[in-house]
Amino acid sequence: MKRVRLLSWLLSAGVLSFTLATVGAQVAQAQRPIRIFDLKCVKTSGDSYYYSSDDLSIGRELYTSFLAIQRRGSWTCQLPGGRASLRIEYGSADKDNKPPAKIDVYVDGNQVASHTGKEGIVNTMMVDVSNGKSLAIDINCSRATNCDSGFYYFFWFHIIPGARSPGSR
């Protein structure tokens, strides 16, 4: 009788542990940031871009980029669904003397954010893209002159599942 109880308790504990481990792993996986180009995307216009690991100085601080865009770019991507935020960190190298980028963000065809960067810093943009089906991003030079020199470098260009932008409800 004691042996049956012990086996029953061990089996219950094992099933509970397996269930908690599986659910915990799914929650941890769901919170991992997704690179924008790991989504299903189409390039709608713009110049070439490349994946980079360039070291550069912005505001006399060292940064390593993962993406570089020369003048402009536009993409439309399929969102994973549910609550999520788009996080973009970008800038221009000190040596390039390039005007800041202007980034417009659209969810399901409606403009939800616009951000014009500042020179000499890494700019951060957070946008709530919760429950959207598609995401469009337009990146352009903020001025009409000196746009051909250098690149816009990106350090974060990710969807963060389960997160919302600060201040949104």
Q: Across all residues in the chain, what is the average pLDDT?
A: 83
The model's pLDDT over 29-51, given as tens digits with 9 standing for 90+, comes to: 457 999 988 999 998 887 777 88
Residue 16, pLDDT > 90, answer no
Q: Is 132 helix (H, G, I), strand (E, B) or coil?
A: coil
Strands in the chain per DSSP E: 34-35, 41-46, 49-51, 55-58, 61-64, 67-69, 73-78, 84-91, 101-107, 110-116, 123-128, 134-141, 152-161
Residue 150, pLDDT > 50, answer yes
The model's pLDDT over 72-122, given as tens digits with 9 standing for 90+, comes to: 889 999 999 899 999 999 999 988 888 899 999 999 999 999 999 998 999
Residue 144, pLDDT > 70, answer yes
* Tokens linked to 55: 């070291």
Residue 6, pLDDT > 80, answer no
